[in-house]
Every structure is written in structure tokens, then in C-alpha cells.
Structure 1
């Protein structure tokens, strides 16, 4: 008992150390983006009346595009959001140099996001946090399992420092990446997230990232309209996910066009928006706060939605460092704003609930695309800084999630990871490595004996952790929901085994 208590205490201490380091790295990342973004917007404003400045801005954007594209070519692991890479690393499917990712992701992310591309800072912040934690784990020569726990803490700390949302950041690691509530993982992640949030709060202040002023709670007689909102969000999320995952496949059909062209296009297209619609560029938080203060017309909101949808897809398709977390929230906010304005014009919804619909729609959209409803609910609650919308927010989130689920939607980050990995094949080479899974209620493993499960070739179930007790399994051992199982396989076989076993452990 004492050794377990000491182990948990060490998890908290490790988390606090990780959070401080990650908090400083991600806070510097945020400060750099905000400072450089301001300079780009000032240049764009001058470019309205000065042809020389406009030419200089175009050249500068093209130079940044070529340079960041070069960085991605040097290390493909800094590509895009970074969340799929972190998932792959913790799942045992990927591994990479922490210093290369940390340095190149930081520089590339600052340049790509600051230039006005419709990308968010949160995905890169998660990978920067994970890379920083990986560096600490390697420096202190931690075991493989401890290393994964520390990296998880770094990922949670990165998201917490990006959004000032420590509880949701911890849940994101557990719900999106691990699909279970391992004690060591959540203790390390929570303490790291709180510590990182302390640092970012000291730098950026206590005001929530998406703080909005409103005074009413949605009454029960409005809830039938929330069902329609959830359906619209669910369908919209499915369309967004499909476009994001397949845009590069569409590009590939035009194989005569060099890849760099697809990178340059959004860098050029973003310049007019920076010049004449500066609030709409970037991740989208400025736009969300702007429309919450003064509701535009439905026509303007529809244009905003079209522009942000197209530019978000084009920006992410470049493969340059930048996330879709905040862009997803901004699309959800626009859908909620349009839906509520229609109801207001029809006379069935008071104007005072306009902001409420923006808030709850952000949660619904993220939940149906990321397939992480609990994270979505807590994330928006922390980002807005109020519990008043919790019931209506959870209601719409559930409806949107189920609509997308029934229509065949998949977790977007997992789909991105599978696209990144080469086709998985059985391999018998490499040193032994361990993979960890959690058996979910209703999965193909739940309630079945080890010998009756269709295990992939080339793996061995080593142990089962049940209620803090370890079991050495044999063929007759019955697996139960909540069991954490450890599987051994060859290092080069880890991707093949993980892909197959994960399907067996997840709820169907």
C-alpha cells in the first residue's frame, strides 16, 4: 500500500515539473504567435493603400510557405495538428526525435499560424507539450511505461496552456488517446495541466479564452429547437470531417500539379481577408468573440461560414504545422449563430439567447467531429468560464454526437493517424515492446475468455490489471470491462498489433 501511495505521489510531482516546463514553452509559443500576427495585420492594413507594402506582404507569405514546407520535408512528424502523432506515439505506432519536433514545430507553427492561415495553436501546443515531456523523460532515463505516462502529461499540459482549460485537457488525454482512466496517467496529466495553466495564467491573465457576456439560461420550452440544432451540427460535422480527410486525395488526382502549389494557394488567398476582414482570419477566436458582441445579419454569417469552411480545409491540407481544434469550434459557433438568427427572425427565440446558441454549438461540433463528447462539454465550459449552459450544452452535444455516429462518422484524429501510417503488415523483427489497452463495456473482449478471442498473430497477452491488482492470464481467464491489458510483440510489429487489438477492446 505504501509503495502505491509513493508511486502516486511521484506521479503528481512529475506532473508539476512537466507542467512548469510545458507551460513556459507553450506560453512562449502563444506570445510569439500573437505578436507576429499583429505585425502581419498591420502590414495588411497598410497594403490597402500602398502597392509596395502589398507586394512585400505577398513575397513574405511566399517565403514563409517555402520555408515551413522545407521544415515539414525535413521532419514529417511536425506535419499538421500534431495530435495524431502524439496518439501514435503513445499507442506505440510512432516514435520520433523530441528535439527535432520541438524546434521545428515551434518555428513552423509560429510562422504558419501568424501568417493568417485558418489554423489553430492547440494541436501544435499539444505536440510541443508532448515533445517537451519526452525530452524530460529521456533526460532522466525513464522506463518505457513511465515515458508514455510523462508524455501524456505533457500533452495535457500543452492543451491546458493553450486554452487555460486544465480539467478538459486531462480528460482529452484520457478520452481521446487512452480511452481509459489509468490512475498514473490521470494523476500525472491533471497535475501537469494545472501546473501549466498556472504558468499561462500568470502570462495571459485569468480571463477565459472565449469569455462571453450573457445573462439568460435556456429554458426547457426551447429544448425542442435544440434537437434541430444538434441534427444540423451533426450533419455539418460529418461534411467537415469528410472534406478534411479527403482533400489531399482530391489533390492526388491532379498529380501533374506540384505539391508546393497547394501550399502556396492559401497563403495567397488569405491576404485579401487580412486586408479587409481581419477578424475572420486565424484560428477563429477573434471572430467568435466579435459576433457574440454584435450579431451580424444571416447573410454575413453565411458568408463567414463559407469562407471559414473553405479556408480551414485549404489551410490544413497544406500539411504545415497548425491545428483544427479552434477552427472546428469557430465553425460550430457560426452554425449556432445562423440557426439562432433564423429562429429569432421567425419570432420563436428571443435575441437574448443568441450567445447561448453560439456556446453550445461549439461543444456539439467538436464532439461530433472529434468523438470526444465529455472533453467537448468541459472544454467549452472552461473556455467560456461559466456553468450556466451546462445542461443545454450537454443536450446538444449528445444529439450532435449521435447523429454523426449513426451516419458513420469516425474520430477525426484517429482517421488522420491511420492515413499517416503505412499499411500495417505482420512483422517478426525488432526487439520486444509492450502495448497497453483498456477493455470497454460491450466490446468484443468483454466477458470472453482469453482463448476465445481472435488475437492478431505475433503477440502475447502478458498481464491484466484489474482494480489495482495484476493477474497473470491463461487461456481460461475471463476478461472484464475496465481491465487494463498488457500485450507484448516485436517492435516492428507494434502498428499491426495495435490496429487489430484496439478494435477488439472498443465498444461496438
Structure 2
């Protein structure tokens, strides 16, 4: 099973990587075309008026796509998590079409949305499509969806390790050798495909000539605490933005995307740096030419524009915009520390880099992913200690403030707004079979004495080719195959728990061997 999934992970990685490449290329050409349109419109009033008409039309088209396929709304990551949890079953081909078309239109219009969420959802649906075409079983399909999500993020950011960790830490919410290996093969494959097209350079380019002295690490800890507060505030406002849209009764959901498109038009002719995911803002920050007041203005406008864009339900992610916001918080913090605390100005970019990790941690509540992601995106391990410290401080602060992971909150909101029940419930059952290894936890124990997981019923034991109906006093031995019945929505969790109970434990084996020698 492990090696079959690894081979399928390679195929899914190619599919997910190809979808992410299409999305990234379309975004790049959209940004270039948008710059030309804005430059032309700023000198021709009629072109400016015509552009606002086009923006309104694009908003209506996106609204129509959202009505046609609601699962393409927003980031797409909560929808993937819901799919794995059995909350709904998306139509993979409709999601791929709708997300590609809708996301590209949003990027062409300049909305403050990122490419990572759509890439994750596109990759996940690519994995599901592969599973459906080749008629894989349910549990294998869920593994392939996870592989596709991992590959999508890897291709979006040239970050294969971060894609793997994110799939396990945030989407799959479980670490296992099987899914780790298959997700890694998918991520590395997608990363190879992506780098073949976009090159080997990291996503962010910051000039760093020094390192934060250990005596000044109190500033790193303080920054992590501030980012913890800022992350909780971000989540609160983001969720409120969706509520505010809902309060306008006359503004139907399919018309809501028009609002950020019109705002994008206004900002395009007044402050174009805040348009799109934030590449221009990152380049400005990395150049070192921005003063403190300029960073504050760009941070405030980008924050508000991001809330308006995502709150409308338009298809697009929050990853990249929130990393840009985190970078600017770090830039402001580093500039202030340099001006008032005597910190060497060459260290400002260090604070920019580590702030992205802290802000991401506080919002998504995935510290391991944040550390690995920023390390890969900057192409340097030199900041690993500072990244770890700021991520831990931000995680602890957000936890003490009772901040919830943003994608869990968004998934809960989607479920709360649904009029129907999840498509998978306790009526749908699935059988799981696992072989008991030598020295397993349940070896030589009676069924009544074993602490079985909830939502799991042992229905059969296969021993030497014969089936045994289990009873309370039935003893399980090595080489038995146990067959359990569980809810379909709990398949992944139960399978992992049973596998842990049935696999060989080396520590116990070594202990018994040592005792026998004595």
C-alpha cells in the first residue's frame, strides 16, 4: 500500500504541479496586462471609465461562477479539509474549472488574494479526479486528495517540504509514515515540474548581511507576542468581514464580488502597489527605500483591501497576502527598533523574514509549517533559530488569547451556512482490515481488555485462512488479520489508530531480548 501510494503520489504531483503552473502563469500575465491597462487608463479618461465597466462585468462573472459551483469560494483549503472530514463531496471537475477561471479573473482584476489556496484546492481535486477515473477505494482517495493538496502548495511556493508538512499538520491533521511518504513524493514531483518552468530561485529575495545578536533576542520574543495579538485580530476581522457582507440584504451573494473589483479599480489609479497578492509590496520592502510612514500606509490599506476581497467570497487565498502583511509588520518593527533602540539597520530585513513566520503561525496555528515555509521561500537556513523563537512566541500568545486556526473557523462557517447535512454520515460504513504484527500492542490480549477507538466495531478475525467471530474472551495473536467496521468519515483516523495498535513495537522487542539475555 505504501509503495503503491508513493507511485500514485508521483502521478498526482504531476497533475497538481501542472494545474498550479497554469494558475501561476495566468497570474503573471494578468499582472503584466493589468499594469499596462492602469498606465494607459491614467492618461485617458475614457479608458479609465471603460475599465470600471470591465471590472463590474468581471465581478458579475465571478459571482455567477460562485453560484454555479459554491465550493470554489474563498481559499479552498477549508473545503479540502471538509472533504477529508466527510462534510461534503465536491465535484472535482467543476471545482477545477471554476477555480481556474474565477481565480484568474480575480487576479486580472487586482483583488488582494493569493495563489496558494487555489493551488491547494486544485491539487486536491486533481488527486480526487485521478482516484475517480481509476476507481480507487475511499480511503485511498483521501490519501490522494492529501497528496494533491501537498503538491499544490509545493508548486505554488517552490516549497516541497512545507507542502508536505502543511498537508499533514493542517489538512490531514495526522502524521503517519504512509501519508508522509506519499505526500512527499507528490510534493517533490510537483516542485520539480514547477521549477522546470519558473526556475530554481526562491520566492522572496531579501538581502541579509548580518544576524540578530543573541543578546537582542528579547526583541524577537516581543515581536512574536505582538504577532500573536495581530494574528488573532486578523482572524477576527476576516470572519467579521463575511458577516458584514451578509448584513446587506439587498446585496445577493452573486453580486458581492463586484465590491472588491470596484475597490481594486479605485486603488489601481491611486495606490496600485496594494493590488494582487503583494509581489510589488514585497519588492518595495526588500529595496529598503520605504520610510516608516510609507510602510504604515501600505500595511493599513493592504489589510483593509484583503478583508474586502476575501470577505466577498471571491475565489482566492489568504496565504500570500498575510505573509506580505507579516513582512510589513516586521519591517515597521525593525525600523522602529533601529530608530529608537539602537538596533543595526542592516538587521531590518531579518525582522521582516521572521515576522512572516510569526504572523502565519498566529493566524493558521501551524508553527512547523510556518518555519519550514519561510525557510524554503527565502532559500536560507540561517534564520532557523529566530524563526523558531518567534513562531513559538506567536503560537503561545495566540493560544492564550483563545485564537482559533483560521481554516477551522472558515470551515465551521461554511458548515453553519449550509442548509443541508453533511453528505457523509454514520449511515455510510466501511470495513478496514489490519494485520497484527509480532510484539504489537494488542498481541496476546483478549478483545475485552483492549481499549478500542470510538466509532469502531471489530467484526471478524482472520487466522490461518479461517474466519473467527470475535467475542469478549477471544485472544488476538500475531499474524491475525482484524477486520473492523467504522463510519466512512472516520476512516482515516481509525485506520491510523488500528495500524498503530497492530504494528511491531521495537522498544518492547528490545526490552524482551535484553531480559532473555539476562
> What TM-score do you get using the length of structure 1 for normalisation?
0.84
Tell me by how many angstroms 1:201 deviates.
0.4
Match of 1:305 in 2: 299
Task: Return the match for 1:418 from 412, 420, 424.
Answer: 412
Query: Which residue of structure 1 aligns with residue 402 of structure 2?
Result: 408
The aligned runs of 1:312-461 (5 Å cut-off) are 312-422=306-416, 430-433=427-430, 459-461=455-457
* Contact 1:336 1:357 (C-alpha < 8 Å) held by counterparts: yes
Residue number in structure 2 paired with 1:292: 286
Count of paired positions: 460
Shift of 1:330: 0.8
Closer/same/farther in 2, CA of residues 451 and 65 from structure 1, 3 Å limit? farther
- 1:159 positional shift: 0.5
Conserved? CA contact 2:457–2:486, under 8 Å: no
Q: Evaluate the alpha carbon distance shift between residue 52 and residue 141 of structure 1 in structure 2; reply closer, same or farther with a 3 A threshold.
A: same
- Cα deviation code 1:107-160 (max 9, x no counterpart): 111111221100001000000001111111111111111111111111111001
Matched position secondary structure for 1:421: helix
State the shift of 1:347 in Å.
4.0
Partner of 2:200: helix, strand, or coil?
coil
1:105 matched to 2:99: yes
Q: Is structure 2 residue 198 aligned with structure 1 residue 204?
A: yes
Q: Distance in 1 between matches of 2:89 and 2:236?
A: 27
Separation in 2 of the partners of 1:473 and 1:200?
51
1:241/1:412 contact within 8 Å kept? yes
Distance 1:257 1:23, change over 3 A: closer
- Contact kept, 8 Å, 1:341 with 1:354, in 2: the verdict is yes
Structure 2 runs not aligned, ≥5 long: 433-447, 460-468, 475-481, 498-518
Asked if the contact 1:34–1:114 (Cα under 8 Å) also holds between the matched residues in 2, the reply is: no
Structure 1 pair 27–425 and aligned structure 2 pair: CA distance change class (3 A): closer
SS of the counterpart of 1:380? helix
Cα contact 1:166–1:190 (8 A) shared by 2: yes
Match of 1:469 in 2: none
CA distance in 2, matches of 1:486, 1:200: 42
Deviates more, 1:130-139 or 1:246-255: 246-255
**TM-score between the two structures when normalised by the length of structure 2:** 0.83
Between the aligned partners of 1:205 and 1:487, the Cα distance in structure 2 is: 48
Alignment of 1:109-508 (within 5 A): 109-260=103-254, 262-422=256-416, 430-433=427-430, 459-461=455-457, 494=489
- Aligned residue for 2:53? 59
Contact 1:41 1:275 in 2 (8 A): no
Indicate conservation of the 8 Å contact 2:237/2:307, yes or no: yes
**Alpha carbons of structure 1 residues 258 and 94: separation in structure 2 relative to 1, 3 Å:** closer
Whether the 8 Å CA contact 2:64–2:254 is kept in 1: the answer is: no
How has the CA–CA distance of structure 1 residues 143 and 236 changed in structure 2, closer, same or farther, with 3 Å as cutoff?
same
Q: Structure 1 residues 475, 367: closer, same or farther in 2, change over 3 A?
A: farther
1:246, CA displacement in angstroms? Answer: 2.0
Distance of 2:264 and 2:449 partners within structure 1: 55
Larger radius of gyration: 2
The Cα shift of 1:258 comes to 3.8
Aligned counterparts of 2:296 and 2:484: Cα–Cα separation in 1: 50
- Report how far residue 54 of structure 1 moved: 0.5
Question: What's the offset of the Cα at 1:295?
Answer: 4.0
Q: Is the 8 A contact 1:15 1:191 kept in 2?
A: yes
In structure 1, runs of 5+ residues without a counterpart are: 1-6, 436-448, 464-471, 478-484, 503-508
Which residue number in structure 2 is paired with residue 50 of structure 1?
Answer: 44
- Matched-pair contact (CA < 8 Å) for 1:83–1:413: yes
